[in-house]
Amino acid sequence: MGIERARGDLLVAASAGGSTIVLAVVSSVIGAVTIGTAPTLVPLGVYLAYLFSRKGGPYGGMDTSRNWAVAAVLAGFIVLAIEAGRVVIGV
């Protein structure tokens, strides 16, 4: 494994792990927004997709570790927005 690939893996792992931790902390600190276990793990699912898709890649110009890291963080924000939206509309 080259140092660049390891650095890319670390970037995606840190982004997914950080997003997962932020979701868990927000869920426990802010009592109004309760996020279940499965939705909290969505950013880690993006990381797993990254790991398993890297076997034969890269598969194009958009298949970079930076884009996967952004996707993991974006997935965390989407989960947070959905759960916060449920609180606002009262579901």
Q: What is the mean pLDDT of residues 3-25?
A: 93
Range of the domain at 11: 3-89
pLDDT on residue 88: 79
The pTM for the full model equals 0.87
Q: 């494994």: which residue's tokens?
A: 1
pLDDT on residue 91: 64
Sequence-distant (≥ 6) Cβ neighbours of residue 63 within 8 angstroms: 53, 57
Sequence-distant (≥ 6) Cβ neighbours of residue 66 within 8 angstroms: 8, 11
pLDDT on residue 60: 75
pLDDT reading at 5 higher than 90: no
What is the number of structural domains in the chain? 1
Name the band, by pLDDT with cuts 50, 70 and 90, for residue 86: confident
Higher-scoring residue by pLDDT: 63, 58: 63
The secondary structure element, H or E, covering residue 61 is none
Amino acid letter for position 13: A
64: DSSP letter: -
